[in-house]
Amino acid sequence: MKPGRNLFHLLCALLLIAAVAALARWWGGAAAEAGALLWLAAASLIALAAAVDGLRVMRQEPPTVRRTLPRSLALGRANRISLHLHNPLTRRISGVVVDHYPDSLAVHDLPRPFSLPGGGELRVDYRVEPGRRGELSFPATEMSMDSPWGLWRRRVLRRERASLRVYPDFLAGGSLREISAEHSAALLGIHLQRRRGEGTDFMQLREFRQGDILRQVDWKASARMCKLVSREYQDEHDRDIVFLLDCGRRMHASDGALTHFDHALNAMLLTAWFALKQGDGVGVCTFAGAGRWLEPRKYRNGIRGLMDQLYDLQASTDSSDFLEAARQLAARRNKRALVILLTNIQAEDDTDLQRAVGILRARHAVILANLREAQLVQRAHADVDDFQGALAHCVATDLLRSRERVMRGLRAQGAWVVDCLPRQLNRALASQYLALKRSGAF
């Protein structure tokens, strides 16, 4: 409990009375005695009022506080949390309320003053924006409650624990969750070539339609039925995709508000979302850190089932061992799959990456997704005005060329390579996956 504003005002008035009493004492006589009595009476009344008001606020029942959290939060996306206050007394209560929130949240509109009539209720909303994925803990709520006369402010702490998950925001806030894969691909800027009746898996026979090509015609069925009959195919499904995700220290590099690891995770989840909608199984193998292995499967509750396993995954400070990661995946997985390796290629990775891709290519189709560093690209294309700028340009250009040589070697081994800026990776990787689906390459 701490002094309130009204007590401060009374103490200021008491100081003023003390100044008057001191001035009266300087005059002497009856004025001095009256001034002293006035100050003593005022001090006694203020002390008595403070004691009575303090006892009243300590005995009165504080307002109840109930916190309402959203089901989950998306990284970097604003949302609202509500505090519901109820006054159990018959008189008005005023004060300030605040929530105890995690440090990784950017919070606006707190603390908030409130004034509750007797028996009244109030909802206090505040805006949050998470800056880190994982589990968030809200340990308590706190309010400062004014005493009836406003002489004191009582601190009330309510330990109401709650937790909340922060997921990657790979689907633009969830606006694409309920629509088809084809429509959502168009909204994301992913180009899909429409080919009616074509694919790699036979689906059915049907009557020949305008626009069908001759190689779709089933001549034996056409002869039996005395009319043209076409074979209709669908894109292959029931395939397995395994994401090999680099969690090493190189993934700590930042691109805008997100790290390379966050961009890689977003791209992985977007591609996995398309894969699940296409009827494929999705698995994940992480390396360079706390290794996780999720066997490829179709999640009953869709992409959320996969996110529940990965939402708290973070990049580590370990180095990335591609050769060991490839060996572990080869030992775990014998059945053919599409392996998608997400990393940030360095020039010194040449030998290890080629050997790792060679191990994976023995059984699997391989896509390597590389996050190109935006700062290197900017320096390589920036105008050169001085000697330092020339040095930076030469270093950036040399690094980019070295990495391009590594990727050329991987392409020569039969791997598909997606090389783009981190913020472009989600669309580029999903486009590559869908193109391979339609070509039947894996």
Residue 212 pLDDT: 65
- Within 177-300, residue ranges assigned H as helices are 181-187, 219-225, 260-277
Name residues whose C-beta falls within 8 Å of residue 193's C-beta, 6 or more positions apart in sequence: 438
Q: Give the bridge partners for 68, in sequence order.
A: 82
- The pair of three-digit structure tokens given for residue 402, joined into one six-digit string: 């070295």
Look at strands 365-371 and 416-420 and give their pairing: parallel
Could you please state the CATH topology (level 3) that the domain comprising 64-167 is classified under: Immunoglobulin-like (2.60.40)
Homologous superfamily (CATH) of 240-439 is von Willebrand factor, type A domain (3.40.50.410)
Residue 136 and residue 142: Cα distance in Å, rounded?
18
Angle at 216 between CA 211 and CA 222, to 5 degrees: 100
* pLDDT tens digits for range 356-370: 999 999 999 999 999
Phi and psi at 24, nearest 5°, equal -65, -35
Residue 178 pLDDT: 41
Angle at 263 between CA 287 and CA 389, to 5 degrees: 105
Residue 272 pLDDT: 93
Q: HSE on the CB side for 380, CA within 13 Å?
A: 13
**Does residue 198 have a pLDDT over 60?**
no
> Which residue carries 């790290």 as its tokens?
259
**Distance of alpha carbon 163 from its chain centroid, rounded?**
15
Mean pLDDT computed over 217-226? 80
**Does residue 175 have a pLDDT over 50?**
no
Q: What are the extents of the domains in the chain?
A: 2-59, 64-167, 240-439
* pLDDT tens digits for range 105-122: 999 999 999 999 998 999
Contact 118, 90 (CB under 8 A): yes
DSSP state at residue 170: T
Residue 1 pLDDT: 82
Radius of gyration for the chain, computed over Cα atoms and rounded to the nearest angstrom: 34
**Distance of alpha carbon 230 from its chain centroid, rounded?**
48
3-state secondary structure string across 284-322: EEEECCCCCEEEEECCCCCHHHHHHHHCCCCCCCCCCCH
What is the overall mean pLDDT for the chain? Answer: 83
**Is residue 109 within a helix (H) or strand (E), and if so which, with residue range?**
none
Residue 211 pLDDT: 59
Name residues whose C-beta falls within 8 Å of residue 156's C-beta, 6 or more positions apart in sequence: 62, 142, 143, 144, 145
Contact 57, 148 (CB under 8 A): yes
Fold match, 64-167 / 240-439: no
* Single-letter residue type at 396: A
Torsion from C-alpha of 323, 324, 326, 332, nearest 10 degrees:
160
Of 304, 317, 324, the C-alpha closest to 261 is: 317
Contact 146, 94 (CB under 8 A): yes
* pLDDT tens digits for range 255-286: 878 899 999 999 999 999 999 988 899 999 99
* pLDDT tens digits for range 281-333: 999 999 998 789 999 988 877 888 899 999 999 999 999 999 999 999 999 98
Residue 215 and residue 229: Cα distance in Å, rounded?
11
**Does residue 231 have a pLDDT over 60?**
yes
Residue 224 and residue 212: Cα distance in Å, rounded?
19
